[in-house]
Amino acid sequence: MKKCVSYFGNKIYDHVKIDFQDIKEHNCDSIVLTFSEEDMQYYHKNFIKIVEIAHDLGLKVYIDPWGVCRIFAGEAYSNFTNLYPETRQVLQSGRSAPAACPNNPKVIEFFYKWIDAALDCNPDGIFWDEPHLYLDWEGIGDSSLACFCELCQEKFYQKYHRLLTKTNFVLKDTISEK
């Protein structure tokens, strides 16, 4: 049986090596390293070395887009929608959400940059950690569904030949995938 454990937060090489040795001694053969926007911006070179340490100990490494654009799981700091507020998901209520829309070209472009940075670290793979549309985990008090931005509305219309509205958004059972 393969055993994997998630590892995040530590970038001090001596501690990382001790932790990875302990992980290996507990019969794990792989780790998931979280790689946030902050890690990509400030600690990219550290991650190259951390992956190397893991590989030297015989661990496989999968890199996780921890909290990236607030589309993936994780509580990591995300600055993307602050820098590009026009990329935010639009809630059913019309309010913008603190998460980027995965259909937005700027978001897609950023994901390609994230993937390039992650692959530059030489992992054995990438772990897409719970990609999702906005959920009110931040507590803004709006549990409306997302995303109702113009891009999502257009994609919905092209696929289903009807407008995306508050009522048909939840009609997933009546819309067949052909």
Whichever domain contains 83, its CATH number is 3.20.20.80
User: Containing domain of residue 32, as a range?
Assistant: 4-170
More confident residue, 60 or 175: 60
pLDDT band at 169 (very low <50, low <70, confident <90, very high): low
Q: Tell me if 177 is assigned to some domain.
A: no
Asked whether residue 149 is domain-assigned, the answer is yes
Task: Confirm whether 131 is domain-assigned.
Answer: yes
Domain tally, the chain: 1
Q: Give the model's confidence band at 137: pLDDT under 50 very low, under 70 low, under 90 confident, else very high.
A: low
Q: Are 99 and 70 in contact (CB under 8 A)?
A: yes
Three-state DSSP state, 35: coil
Residue 175 counted as domain residue: no
Residue 93 forms part of a structural domain: yes
pTM: 0.86
| 140 within some domain | yes
Read off the pLDDT of residues 14-71 as tens digits, 9 standing for 90 and up.
999 999 999 999 999 999 999 999 999 999 999 999 999 999 999 999 999 999 999 9
Q: Is residue 144's pLDDT more than 90?
A: no
The pLDDT tens digits of the residues spanning 89-116 come to 999 888 898 899 999 999 999 999 999 9
**176 in the Ramachandran plot: left (φ > 0), alpha (ψ -120 to 50) or beta?**
beta
Percent of residues, the chain, with pLDDT higher than 70? 88
Q: Is the separation of the CB atoms in 104 and 40 below 8 Å?
A: no
- Considering the domain boundaries, does residue 176 fall inside one? no
Domain annotation covers residue 164: yes
